[in-house]
Amino acid sequence: MPKDSGIGASPKRREDVRFLTGRGQYTDDININGQLYVHFLRSDMAHATINGIDTSEAEGMPGVVRVFTGADFEGVGSIPCGWQVTDRHGEPMQEPAHPVLAQGKVRHVGDPIAAVVAETYAQARDAAEALVPDLEELPAVIDMKDAVKDGTTKVHDDLTSNLCYDWGFVEENRDAVAKAMDEAAHVTTLELVNNRLVANPMEPRVAVGDYNPGTDDHTLYTTSQNPHVIRLLMGAFVLGIPEHKLRVVAPDVGGGFGTKIFHYAEEAFVTFAAKQIGRPVKWTASRSEAFMSDAHGRDHVTKIELALDAENNFTAIRTETYANMGAYLSTFAPSVPTWLHGTLMAGNYKTPLIYVNVKAVFTNTVPVDAYRGAGRPEATFQLERVIDKAARELGVDPLALRRQNFITEFPYATPVAVEYDTGDYEATLSKLEEIADISGFEARRRESEAKGKWRGLGMNCYIEACGIAPSALVGQLGARAGLYESATVRVNATGGLSVMTGSHSHGQGHETSFAQVVADMIGIDDGMVEIVHGDTSKVPMGMGTYGSRSLAVGGSAIVRATEKIIAKAKKIAAHLMEASEGDIELKDGQFTVAGTDKSVAWGDVTLAAYVPHNYPLEEIEPGLEETAFYDPANFTYPSGAYACEVEVDPETGHVTIERFAAADDFGNVVNPMIVEGQVHGGLAQGIGQALLENCSYDEDGQLISASYMDYAMPRADDVPMFDVDHSCQTPCTHNPLGVKGCGEAGAIGSPPAVVNAVIDALQSGGKNVMHIDMPLSPNRVWAAMQGA
């Protein structure tokens, strides 16, 4: 019988009660007495010199309190970047300034030029229309390869070029990889695009700044995945506010997908303006603003080469990638195409030599940063597409080619600097063959053919490095932050617990699953545990949620803090029962003395901690509250195998996904229902990238896909019922829960399965198409069919 509480059970998500009944408290629900509203005038040009801004008419308009321009932010810090990449010559990346409001130049459509603060939002918008910026348009830098040619217009005049960095990994392997390519029996080459995406969380970004002149306290309410990171970056680097005078609250947040990790100019603006004006200032992004100011994702152009020997063993991989940084460096942008991407190029395979070259480029586009998967989907897509192409060129079964090259012994040190602790790739692939009913595919293909449709089957494996991250390691790699996590477990006198976690939940269900962990350890009901997150005044300094880290790192911190609680509670229980501490056992919320019938309940012990009338005060302090900081020893390495079946309409090129199966190894699973939901969401986003989504700029840098009329999000009828399985479990060897993380897997593993399936369908229809760049819109598929 399935468990109904604790680890391994699937209780319904407690937070959904408020989300589904309209009782959530999102940032836009926060309204402070006397608050003003800001509207940003954003550049409608991609690249222009600001000769001046006439604010006089706007300042006289009804309700306008103040108009800010870049000049008001002279002396204020630059929006900082949290990761410094060192290039292949040992030089630091080029790092441009990023002012809160544009100074001197605008560098992308959406770059904020001025801000109008008014009594109402409508008044602020109206007045912004009366602002007259004198912009002198400059040539826009859009294409990445053009951007790094000599003599190209520079996005940042004070940098030497538009090249942020030219990264080589592992640089020492460069020559050996070249030699292996020369000596290979076969080399498969593939050029591909990882299309630019917009994260599109359901809730747009919102920020409310508040300032108390009586205490000099600043408060920022914001839609963030990591309020402490915002407090540190904004307080220390932009506005110069010490952390004890700055509180950052990220209440209910309606989805992040990475794009709410980063510190944004609007957050600094409302915090700054609230103090300048002496009244709270609120900003709520419109969907249009979200498209042109939320950090975008992906946008890599890659050439990958896979070398094989005469027995089809992989001997080397070489890639050259152009990665778009956009106009400024967003918080973690430099890490995405490098350490979150190059380190994954081994995939599930024992390729002995790998060389990854990444050229990160500034362009006149919205900054690009982490988006669900962040670097790992890009790596997986390249690798799993080139393997499929190699199998086709060599005339071998694509799964057999993968199996032959699987890593089978763990721990396994890859040639790209990471060590996989555990995994079983054959197990997930075999499970996939079972749940996807691969043996029934040919019959289904004939059924499709009978309907006049071409059916294709695409499969791939994936591995990801998540549970981000060991601080000492990422520090060597250029991270300017530690990536541990924090937890405080506060036991109340009557036995209930408040658990303060540095992780942040913006849809992941932490309030449910984290409570399951703590309740399971003590043996009490889940309902006795409350999870508190998202407020720097309540939670110890933590690093937030991204990189599938919350359970693996944040959950581990909670385990460590709870272990301390239990250790202390055992001391109290030993005193109460006049027994030796070493004989105390805790089970089902009861402390017992081993080998006797003596027991005290959890609640007796917690009460004694706060009413210490009969208490070992000479040995331990009263109270029952413990804090732990957990820094992981390694990344975690979830892996799996995915299968997609598509039908292609030979007349129109329209692709429908008929079946999709995912067999994942997430290690131990705390709440299978939540895990399944995470996989579903990730698959939908991966399918969105593969078939639908594309963020487009025209040659002048105009963003031409900035609404849902032109940016195609996946809808319910674009995805099939998913067959997902996570019964293959090789527990993580280095965290106390044995968990690996599941938030990004679906988005990482699914795009190559979809594309492999479409190529297979076209091949079955007699079209010798080897690759189509995502998204596989009917137009692109049809055009590829015509050329083949």
Partner 1 sequence: MKMTDSQTIDAPPDRVWAALLDPETLKACVPGCQEMSGSPEDGFEAVVVQKVGPVKATFKGGVTLEDMVEPASLTISGEGKGGAAGFAKGGADVRLEPADGGTELHYDVEAKVGGKLAQLGSRIIDGFAKKMADQFFTNFKEAVEGPKTAANEAVPEAEDAEGETDSEKKGWLGRLVKS
Q: Are 519 and 528 in contact (CB under 8 A)?
A: yes
The CA-based dihedral angle spanning residues 570, 573, 574, 575, taken in that order and rounded to the nearest 10 degrees: 130
DSSP assignment string, 479-505: BSS---EEEEEEE-TTS-EEEEESS--
- Contact with partner 1 (CB under 8 A) among 86, 161, 276, 288: 288
Secondary structure element (H or E) that encloses residue 189, with its range: strand 186-194
Count residues near partner 1 (CB under 8 A): 20
Task: Using DSSP bridges, classify how beta strands 412-413 and 419-420 pair: parallel, antiparallel or unpaired.
Answer: antiparallel
What count of residues does the chain have? 788
Position 761 contacts partner 1 (CB under 8 A):
no
Cβ neighbours of 780 (radius 10 Å) = 18
Position 457 contacts partner 1 (CB under 8 A):
no
Position 129 contacts partner 1 (CB under 8 A):
yes
Position 57 contacts partner 1 (CB under 8 A):
no
Position 338 contacts partner 1 (CB under 8 A):
no
Position 303 contacts partner 1 (CB under 8 A):
no
- Report, in Å, the least distance between residue 42 CB and partner 1: 8
Distance CA 760, CA 655 (A): 12
Nearer to partner 1, 40 or 339 (CB): 40
Cβ neighbours of 283 (radius 10 Å) = 27
Cβ neighbours of 540 (radius 10 Å) = 18
Phi, psi of 656 (to 5 degrees): -120, 140
Position 40 contacts partner 1 (CB under 8 A):
no
Q: Tell me which residue of 147, 144, 160, 154 sits closest to 94, measured CA to CA.
A: 160
Where does this chain touch partner 1 (CB under 8 A) — which range of 81-89, 125-133, 240-248, 480-488? 125-133
Position 38 contacts partner 1 (CB under 8 A):
no
- Report, in Å, the least distance between residue 291 CB and partner 1: 7
Nearer to partner 1, 217 or 700 (CB): 700
- Contact with partner 1 (CB under 8 A) among 81, 109, 553, 586: 109
Position 59 contacts partner 1 (CB under 8 A):
no
What is the SS3 assignment for 747? helix
Phi, psi of 687 (to 5 degrees): -65, -35
Position 191 contacts partner 1 (CB under 8 A):
no
Letters for 63-102 (x = contact with partner 1 by CB under 8 A, - = none) are ----------------------------------------
Nearer to partner 1, 45 or 479 (CB): 45
Where does this chain touch partner 1 (CB under 8 A) — which range of 78-86, 286-294, 530-538, 598-606? 286-294
Nearer to partner 1, 109 or 147 (CB): 109
- Report, in Å, the least distance between residue 284 CB and partner 1: 16
Distance CA 620, CA 268 (A): 44
Position 125 contacts partner 1 (CB under 8 A):
yes
Contacts of 648 by beta carbon, 8 Å cutoff, 6+ apart: 453, 454, 455, 456, 654, 655, 758, 761, 762, 765, 781
Sign of CA dihedral 517, 520, 523, 526: positive
Position 56 contacts partner 1 (CB under 8 A):
no
Q: Are 41 and 135 in contact (CB under 8 A)?
A: no
- Report, in Å, the least distance between residue 760 CB and partner 1: 31
- Report, in Å, the least distance between residue 197 CB and partner 1: 16
Query: In which order are the strands placed within the sheet that holds 105-106?
Result: 105-106, 48-54, 132-137
Nearer to partner 1, 128 or 190 (CB): 128
Nearer to partner 1, 121 or 412 (CB): 121
Nearer to partner 1, 109 or 239 (CB): 109
Letters for 684-713 (x = contact with partner 1 by CB under 8 A, - = none) are ------------x-x-x-xxxxxx-xx---
- Contact with partner 1 (CB under 8 A) among 83, 165, 291, 322: 291
- Report, in Å, the least distance between residue 196 CB and partner 1: 15
Position 54 contacts partner 1 (CB under 8 A):
no
Secondary structure element (H or E) that encloses residue 271, with its range: helix 265-277
- Contact with partner 1 (CB under 8 A) among 220, 238, 292, 524: 292
Distance CA 548, CA 740 (A): 8
Residues that bind partner 1 (CB under 8 A): 44-45, 109, 125, 128-129, 288, 291-292, 696, 698, 700, 702-707, 709-710
